[in-house]
Amino acid sequence: LGMIEEVEPRIAQATRQELTDQRASLKLIASENYASLPVLATMGTWMSDKYAEGTVGHRFYAGCQNVDTVEAVAAEHARELFGAEYAYVQPHSGIDANLTAYWAILAHKIESPALEEFGAKGVAELSEADWETLRRRFGEQRLLGMSLDAGGHLTHGFRPNVSGKMFHQRSYGTDPETGLLDYEALRAQAKEFKPLVLVAGYSAYPRRINFAKMRDIADEVGAVLMVDMAHFAGLVAGKVFTGEEDPVPYADVVTTTTHKSLRGPRGGMVMATAEYAPSVDRGCPLVLGGPLSHVMAAKAVALAEARTAEFRTYAQAVADNAKALAEGLMKRGAKLVTDGTDNHIVLLDTTSFGLTGRQGEAALLDAGIVTNRNSVPNDPNGAWYTSGVRLGTPALTSRGFTTSDMDAVADMITGVLKATKPTTTSAGAPSKAKFELDEAARSNSLAEAERL
C-alpha cells in the first residue's frame, strides 16, 4: 500500500480501511466471501496489461501466448471440477456470463437455422430484408425465470433488466404457503407459456433445486435449460450438491460467478454441452471485448483451490453453518422463509420483529453485522424497503466459524432485532426506514463481533 500511498493516498487509506472493516464486522452477505491471498495476488499483476480478444490460439492481437496458457488452464480446471463438456472463462461478471449465455442460445437456436434457411454463411451476407427477419425472430423469443421476490436474479427476466427487454418474459414464483418451488405449477406454466429458455437458479432462495425435474419440464416444452449457479457454485464444486442437485449433468448451459461461494476473483463463467460450445465460444464478439487476463489467471488459481479436499470440507461447513444459523434463529423466535435452509442462504422475515428489511439491515450494521435487505415472497414493502434480510455463511465459514459460533451469531442477530424499534417520520407516520437501537444491545453486539 506504500506505493499506492505515494500516488493517491485516499485510495491507500480506503483500501486499508476496507481491510479493517471486513475483519472487524461479521460479513453475512450471502454473495460475498474472502478470496485467498494467492487469488488476490494473481489479480494484481501485469497480466492485466494484455489485450487478447478472441479465444485460445485464435486471437485478434499478437503476443497472446501467455494469456492462452492462462485461459486454457482456467477452462481445464473448470471442466474437470464441474464435469462440464465445455467452459468459457472470459465473462467479467455474472451478468456478462448470463448475457453471453442468452446470446449464445439465440445464436444456436435462432440465428444458425435462419442462416441456413436464408442460404447465408454468416450475418454479414444477409440481405437487409433477411436481417430484419432475423432481428424480429430474436425479439420474439420467450424466457421463463424465477421472480425477483421469490429469490431469482435481475438477469432472469426482470423487466427493467436487459433480459426482460430482449425476451418476452414471464416469471415463476414459489408456493405461497410453503415458500418452496412448486415443480408441478412450474410445469403447467411452462406448458402454457412455451419458453425458448427456462432459467433455474437464484440469489435468495434458501433451498436446493432438483435439476432432474427442471430438465424434465424443459424437455416437455422443448425449452433450453439454463442454470445460473452463481450463488451455489461452491457447493457444487465442493460436492455438497450431487446427483439431481448438481445442475451440470442436466442443463444445456450453466452460468456462474466466481466470487461468491466459489471464493475466487470477481468474475463469471459459462459452461455448456458440446452442442452449445461453438456459440458460447463466440462470447467475443457476441457480447464481450477483451478478456480480463489477470482475472482469468486468478480464476485458474481459485478453481485449482476448489479442486482440493480442503475445499470440500469448506463447502460442507458452509451448509452446516447455514443450518446451525437457521436453527439458532428459529429457536429464538425468528421467522424464516421456508422455515429453514438447505443451502448457504437464510432469509429472515424481519416483520416478525416489527421491522422492515431496511430497518433490520441498518440496525444490524450499526451492531457490527453486515447483511443485505431482501424481498420476501409477495413482499408487502416492495423492493426498496423489503420485509427481510438475507444472511449467508460462505464468508464467515472462510474465517473458520463453526456451528457453535453460528449459534452465537444467531443470538446476536435476534438480540439486536429485538432491541430495535421502528420510529416515526417527521410527519408522525410510521417510518419504513427510521429506527432506534438500544445502546446496550448495540455495544454488546459490537463487543461480541470483535470477540468472534
Q: Which residue ranges make up the site for ligand PLP (CB under 6 A)?
A: 31, 93-95, 98, 153, 155, 201, 203, 228, 230-231, 257, 268
Is the Cβ of residue 126 or residue 348 nearer to ligand PLP in the bound state?
348
315 in Cβ contact with 238 (< 8 Å): yes
Is the Cβ of residue 102 or residue 353 nearer to ligand PLP in the bound state?
102
C-beta of 36: minimal distance to ligand PLP in Å? 19
C-beta of 293: minimal distance to ligand PLP in Å? 18
Write the CB contacts of 136 (distance below 8 Å, at least 6 apart in sequence).
none
Other CB atoms within 10 A of residue 108 CB: 21
Q: What are phi and psi of 58, to 5 degrees?
A: -145, 70
Q: Count of residues for the chain?
A: 452
C-beta of 257: minimal distance to ligand PLP in Å? 5
C-beta of 1: minimal distance to ligand PLP in Å? 26
Is the Cβ of residue 226 or residue 396 nearer to ligand PLP in the bound state?
226
Is the Cβ of residue 205 or residue 276 nearer to ligand PLP in the bound state?
205
The grid coordinates of residue 303 equal 478453481
Distances (CA, A) of 105 to 77, 109, 126, 148: 24, 6, 20, 22
Distance separating alpha carbons of residues 87 and 181, to the nearest angstrom: 29
Do β-strands 253-257 and 268-272 pair in parallel, antiparallel, or remain unpaired?
Answer: antiparallel
Is the Cβ of residue 32 or residue 366 nearer to ligand PLP in the bound state?
32
Going by the DSSP 8-state scheme, the letter that residue 107 receives in this structure is: I
Give the residue carrying C-alpha cell 432459467. 199
Which residues fall in the annotated binding site? 148, 152-154, 275
Q: What angle do CA 325, 328, 332 make, to 5 degrees?
A: 140
C-beta of 379: minimal distance to ligand PLP in Å? 18
Is the Cβ of residue 54 or residue 267 nearer to ligand PLP in the bound state?
267
C-beta of 146: minimal distance to ligand PLP in Å? 9
Which residues fall in the annotated binding site for (6S)-5,6,7,8-tetrahydrofolate? 148, 152-154, 275
